[in-house]
Homo-oligomer: A and B are copies of this chain.
C-alpha cells in the first residue's frame, strides 16, 4: 500500500514496526476457538503473558483497543459516582479521565505540566487528606505517550503506602509494556492496562488487564454495569483454556510469537536496548538544539522515556509542517503533538522491534527534515547519537 520506494519508517510511538515473524505467525488460517488446538495455544499465551507484566496473577486479554482496557479497569472495580484520583501527565491521562467521567465516575485531576511524570508527593498529599477514603482508585499513566515522560511507579506505590490509603492502584502501561521495565506484582499494582501495538510488536486489536487479588475482590462491590469487559466470565473461561466470546484468534497467534521473541532476547536486554536508543535520540536532539532550537520535551531526567522522545519545536516553527516534509521526502511517519502540544511537538517512537541502524535512519530523517523544512538546528546530531551507540557497544564488548 506504500507507494514510495523502500521500507516505510513507522516512527510514531506506536503502532510499531511489526516484525516479519509476527506478521507471518498471524498469517495462518483461523482455527476453531473451541477446539483442542486453540485451547493449547490459549493456555500457552495466558501463561506467557504474565511474565511480560511481571505478575503471577491472571492477565485478561480482550479483543479491543487499549481504550477498552482503560474502560475495563474502571468498570470492574468501581461504582457510579466513585471518586478516582488521576494525574494530568499529558493527553492520554486526560483521555482516561474523560473516559472515567463518561462512565459516571468522579475523577479528580492533579494538574501537571506535561513535561514530567507524576510527582509522588502530590499523590501522597492528596491521599493523606482523604481521611474518609472517598477516593477509590489512583490512576496513573506509566509512560505518557504524548510527552515521553515515564512515571516511577514504585514511587507512586510508596506514596500510596505512606499515606496508608486503601485505594486501588491502576496503571496504564500501553506504551511501556515490553519496552520499559515494569513489575505489576513487585510494585503492588492492582490493575495494569496494556495494549498490543507497542512494545508487544503486534498490530492493534488486543488489550490487557493484569489484575491483583485485591482488584478481583473489588468486582463484587463494583456497581458499574459491565458485560463485554467483565472479568468474572473471562477468568472462569480462561481457567479452562477458552474465552467466553470469540477471541481475536490471529492476533493471539501473533501474541504467542511476540512473547517468544521477548523471552528469546531477554526482557532485561529489551529494556536496555530501549534505554540506549532513547539516550542516543536525546543526544541527537540536544545537539540539534544546542543553539536554542529544538529541545526534548521531558524536563526531568529521571522521567525520560525509553520508548519515545517528544521534541519541542523552536518558537514559530510548526511541527506538523515539519512532519509533512519528513513524510513526503523520507517516507517516515513521526508522531504529532496532541491537544495542547499540537503543532508544537513531534514525537519520535523508538520502541518495539527496533535496532541501532533503524534508529540512525530515523534520526538522519529528522536531521534532514529539519534542513529541508528550514528549521534552525545545529548539524551533527546523528554523529552525537552514533557516539552514544558506539560507546554502548564498546561497553557491552568489555562486559
Contacts and interface: CB of A to CB of B under 8 A. Distances in A.
B63 A393 contact: no
Contact of A10 (B3, B31, B205): B31
Contacts of A35: 327, 333
A393 B367 CA distance: 13
A65, A362, A390: which has the most chain B beta carbons within 10 Å? A65
Contacts of A375: none
Interface in A1-51: 1-10, 12, 14-20, 23-24, 26-37, 41
Nearest to A396: B329
Interface string A135-167: 000000000000000000000000000000000
Given A224-B225, A383-B382, A393-B329, A65 B103 contact: no
A67 B247 CA distance: 10
User: How many interface residues does chain A have, given as a range?
Assistant: 35 or more
How many copies of the chain does the oligomer comprise? 4
Nearest to A74: B227
A240 interface: no
A314 interface: no
Contact of A80 (B2, B225, B383): B225
A35 B324 CA distance: 10
Interface in A348-399: 353-362, 364-365, 367-368, 371-372, 379-380, 382-383, 386, 389-390, 393-394, 397
Contact of A5 (B5, B34, B265, B364): B265
Interface stretch (A111-119, A121-129, A248-256): A248-256
A170 to B, nearest CB: 15
A104 B383 CA distance: 55
Max count, chain B CB within 10 A of own CB: residue among A30, A230, A264: A30
A327 B32 CA distance: 11
B30 A1 contact: no
Given A63-B205, A327-B35, A356-B365, A18 B29 contact: yes
A203 interface: yes
Contacts of A63: 63-65, 68, 204-205
Given A357-B361, A393-B372, A205 B27 contact: no
A31 B8 contact: yes
Given A26-B26, A368-B389, A253 B1 contact: yes
B390 A71 contact: no
A56 interface: no
Contacts of A19: 7
Contact of A247 (B65, B333, B362, B394): B65
Contacts of A382: 360, 364, 382-383, 386
A273 interface: yes
Interface string A222-257: 001111111000000000000011111111010000
A340 interface: no
B383 A246 contact: no
Contacts of A360: 360-361, 364-365, 368, 382
Contacts of A1: 28, 31, 37, 41, 253
Given A103-B226, A360-B361, 9 more contacts: A5-B355, A18-B30, A23-B28, A30-B203, A63-B204, A66-B246, A104-B225, A224-B225, A360-B364
20 contacts: A6-B354, A6-B356, A14-B246, A17-B30, A24-B24, A99-B227, A203-B248, A203-B249, A204-B247, A204-B248, A204-B249, A225-B225, A331-B356, A356-B365, A357-B362, A360-B364, A360-B368, A361-B361, A367-B386, A382-B382
The 7 closest A-B pairs by CB, nearest first: A6-B355, A360-B364, A361-B361, A205-B248, A357-B361, A32-B333, A27-B27
